[in-house]
Amino acid sequence: MLRPFKADLHIHTCLSPCTELDMSPKKILTSAKKKEIDILGICDHNSTENSLALMNAAKNMNIKIFPGMEVTSQEEVHVLALFDDIENTLKLQEFVYKNLPGENDEEAFGMQVIVNEKEEVLGFNNKLLIGATAIPLNEVIQLIHSLDGITIASHIDRESFSIIGQLGFIPENLELDALEISPNITFEEAKKRFEYNYPITCSSDAHYPDDIGKSYTTFLLKNGTVAEIKKALKNEEGRKLIH
């Protein structure tokens, strides 16, 4: 039986240097529960090292966690990558790390904290996660798809680090699954402003616990899986976006 699922597919944790340190597994899940969110996408910048902590912490909370990341392409375009399992997410991370130059400067950008499900600090990531990879945008998308993931162009209504802000348009050859708008714009405004033949999703891009669920997308699905989301984005077998 199909039912509505509220999904906030763009959440940062304390691993992202631009995020508050209290974006820990417990506080993220507590906030999501209050907002009645069914699916969370964990999308730290160029890393998935806190995804497993969220997956473990959510096991008894009836909240589905999609491990993922927000990859920054060579063109400085942000793309969300979402997966069902941690294994393929880690394969993407391995490739991203090989193509991510630079080291983090905590004073300039902030700490990049790796935690477990008990919120114990396991260490600090010293890579320049806020930076751009050396991977061209089209290759980023192809790689995510080869690992059975979903690709969503981040916050297309923003000037900074969006595909339209960086390129001025969306190339026709890109096989994106969807476009994401930020909480700063409504679905109705987006339909008028962006005349592209892609489904439009909305997520919070939360950097603070209170922002989780501030914006979300409602999907009609059988269960909370990436495969079901893919069907909804293609309007297949009764699955669909109901916003």
Q: How confident is the model at residue 124, as a pLDDT? A: 97
Separation of alpha carbons 182 and 119, rounded Å: 28
Q: What pairs with residue 40 in β-bridges?
A: 8, 65
Where the chain has pLDDT below 50, the residues are none
Q: Whose CA is closest to 126, among 105, 108, 98, 146?
A: 105
**pLDDT tens by residue, 214-225:** 999 999 999 999
The domain spans of the chain are 3-241
Joined together, the tokens standing for residue 47 give: 């890393």
Residue 20 is predicted with a pLDDT of 80
Looking at the domain 3-241, which fold is it?
A: TIM Barrel (3.20.20)
CA-based torsion, 45, 186, 148, 206: positive or negative: positive
The burial of 196, by beta-carbon neighbours within 10 Å (0-12 exposed, 13-18 middle, 19 or more buried), is given as middle
Q: Is the pTM of this model over 0.85?
A: yes
Compute the distance between CA of residue 77 and CA of residue 147 in angstroms, rounded to an integer. Answer: 20
Quick one: pLDDT at residue 126?
97
